[in-house]
Structures are given as C-alpha cells and as structure tokens.
Chain A
Amino acid sequence: SQKIEQNSEALNIQEGKTATLTCNYTNYSPAYLQWYRQDPGRGPVFLLLIRENEKEKRKERLKVTFDTTLKQSLFHITASQPADSATYLCALPVLSSNTGKLIFGQGTTLQVKP
C-alpha cells in the first residue's frame, strides 16, 4: 500500500537559516506531490504542487524538489522567519484515483527561533 514518511521530530532552526524538510514515499510513482502548511488550531493550507516531470519549483522563499528515482521530495524555506513556524504536510494523490483524493504524511513541525 502507499506510504508517506515525514520526519516526526520537530525541526528547530535559527531565524535567517534555511529549513529543509523531507518527504519520502514508497510503493508507487505519483503524478504530483503537494505541500501544505498547518498552523495550530487551523486547517491545512495549500502551498505548492510539483509534478513528476518537474525537478524543482519555487514560490517566493519556498523551494520544492521532486526526485522520482529516490522517491523523495525536499521542501526548503530560505531566510526563515519566526512566522514560518508551523507544521508542514506533504501529500500525494491516492493510487488509481482521479477524484483528487490525497494521502497525507503526518507532518513535520518547524520552529524558527529569533
């Protein structure tokens, strides 16, 4: 069955540094991968989508890579700020589904210290 793994340990970094979060998946080759941000007490918010034929995608200070050989996506936040502190979820489309169903990782909590 499909499986997504994100580092369950919180990531603590200093303001201004680059945060790198990892998402690994097994047992299939997704057409795309998504990253969401979730703040405490709120619903997830979509950040970026990267397709299988894209190696890298950027949006402002965010960068996502997608290595279909390693079955891994890296999510980078450059020049991190305390406001970037949140839990970040990666998500993949459910196998054999064209309904938009996603399977989510458990998320990695990022804490940026001033």
Chain B
Amino acid sequence: NAGVTQTPKFQVLKTGQSMTLQCAQDMNHNSMYWYRQDPGMGLRLIYYSASEGTTDKGEVPNGYNVSRLNKREFSLRLESAAPSQTSVYFCASSGRDTQYFGPGTRLTVL
C-alpha cells in the first residue's frame, strides 16, 4: 500500500517548456488535489477533482491544466512554464475529511 505517489521528485525547466506532473493513489479515494507550497504562502490549492472525470479550479489555477484519467491518477500539466511557477507541488487524496499527501515535486523554472 504505497498511499500517494508523485513523479518526478525534482525537475528543472526552462521558461516556455512544458511538463506533466504525475500523481497516483491506491486508497480508492474519490477526491484528489494539487497544491503548490511557497515560502511564506503556505499550501495553495491549484485544482481538485471530486471524482473520476470531474475537475475544478482552486485558488491559483492560472498556467495549469489537470486530467483525472481514472480514479487512481490525477496529473498536473504546465503548458508553458514560467519562473513564477517555481515551487514545491503536492498531490493529495481524500476519502472523507482528511487528506493524504504525496512526497512532493520540487520544480525550478529558469
């Protein structure tokens, strides 16, 4: 039982490049979330998915897209990376009230 897994752990991009962050959970949770965490800003919700096939914007969705391909997987895509997207990205899932987080992806955009 791996919980929530994320790939990659680290990534460096140049401005304008694209990439997809992958997230998977094996707890049969309906809800999944993508957050970014920046110093002094705390965790901010980018997108969430209440169930397979549904997604909705969070607090800071600009510059990101998501896909909930199936119940297990929820991916986050940066179409044209910008230095302001340098951050640590966390994926989480929840069955009811509590959230279970992945280990994070540290992304640097040069």
What is A's interface to B at a CB cutoff of 8 Å?
A: 8, 32, 34, 41-46, 49, 89, 91, 93, 99-107
Contact = CB atoms under 8 A, between A and B. Distances in A.
A86 to B, nearest CB: 14
A89 B45 contact: no
B98 A99 contact: no
Contact of B97 (A45, A100, A104, A106): A100
B41 interface: yes
B104 A105 contact: no
A107 B42 CA distance: 7
B48 A93 contact: no
Contacts, number: 49
A92 to B, nearest CB: 11
Given A99-B48, A99-B50, A89 B42 contact: yes
With most chain A CB atoms within 10 A of its CB, the pick from B4, B43, B90 is B43
Contact of B43 (A45, A49, A89, A100): A89
B31 interface: yes
Interface size class of B (residues with CB under 8 A): 20 to 34
A43 B102 contact: yes
14 contacts: A41-B104, A42-B104, A43-B92, A44-B101, A45-B101, A46-B98, A46-B99, A89-B42, A100-B94, A101-B33, A101-B45, A101-B48, A103-B45, A105-B42
Given A100-B94, A101-B45, A107-B42, 4 more contacts: A32-B97, A34-B97, A43-B104, A49-B98
B103 A43 contact: yes
B40 A100 contact: no
A43 B33 contact: no
A46 B98 CA distance: 7
With most chain B CB atoms within 10 A of its CB, the pick from A41, A89, A99 is A99
With most chain A CB atoms within 10 A of its CB, the pick from B33, B58, B97, B101 is B97
B100 interface: yes
A106 B37 CA distance: 9
A52 to B, nearest CB: 12
